[in-house]
Amino acid sequence: MLNEKMLNAINKQINAEMYSAYLYLSMEAHFQSISLKGFANWMRAQAQEEMMHAMKFYDYVYERGGTVTLEAIDKPETTWESPLAVFEAVLEHEKHVTRLINDLVDLAIQEKDHASNIFLQWFVTEQVEEEASASEVIDKLKLIEGTRAGLFMVDGELGKRVFTTTETAAE
């Protein structure tokens, strides 16, 4: 059974993961609107991954005998000034999520909730990957210095990303 503090914190995290999905879907719509289909594809896969994260927390609450409480999801931004600005926003957002996950781990330790601590370790590892993949795209976008040819090349690469539940399901 989850104690109340842990339950409330995990319910908040479900909201944060759903907001992440919403934010990346908004970025997907932005890229669609400027005809960068590969970038849009990457964002759609990212949004699907965030929904999977939300559902992992969601299912965990039930596994531990708790009740999920859903709250309103904030409105995400809808426009960015460049593809680089989008990915810099992704990295900033993922750093924020990393802090949230670390706070959850701290709480699990404080509450002596060993099961939650172990459950959260998957997310600790996942956040390393999340920050690395955003940084990788930022590096590429900096290298091409906004050239049209470079942008199309990166668009082609990002278009190859496929969301699979095994992509991050290393449980």
> Could you list the residues that contact ligand FEO (CB under 6 A)?
17, 20, 50, 53, 94, 97, 130
Q: How far is the CB of 44 from ligand FEO (least distance, A)?
A: 14
Q: Which is nearer to ligand FEO, 113 or 130 (CB)?
A: 130
Nearer to ligand FEO, 94 or 155 (CB): 94
Decide: 138 and 18 in contact? Cβ < 8 Å. Answer: no
C-alpha pair distances (Å), 33 with each of 40, 54, 74, 78, 93: 9, 27, 22, 11, 22
What SS3 class is residue 85? helix
**Number of residues that make up the chain:** 171
How far does the chain reach from its first CA to its final CA, in angstroms?
21
Q: Are 41 and 161 in contact (CB under 8 A)?
A: yes
Query: Taking the CB of residue 69, how many other CB atoms lie within 10 A of it?
Result: 12
73 vs 144 by CB, closer to ligand FEO:
73
Contact of 50 with 87, CB cutoff 8 Å: no
Tokens 């896969």, residue located: 45
CB nearer ligand FEO, residue 50 or residue 113: 50
Element (H, E) at 38: helix 37-63
* Shortest distance in whole angstroms from residue 17 CB to ligand FEO: 5
Q: How far is the CB of 123 from ligand FEO (least distance, A)?
A: 7
- Tokens representing 98 are 């990393």
CB-closest chain residue to ligand FEO: 53
Nearer to ligand FEO, 2 or 97 (CB): 97
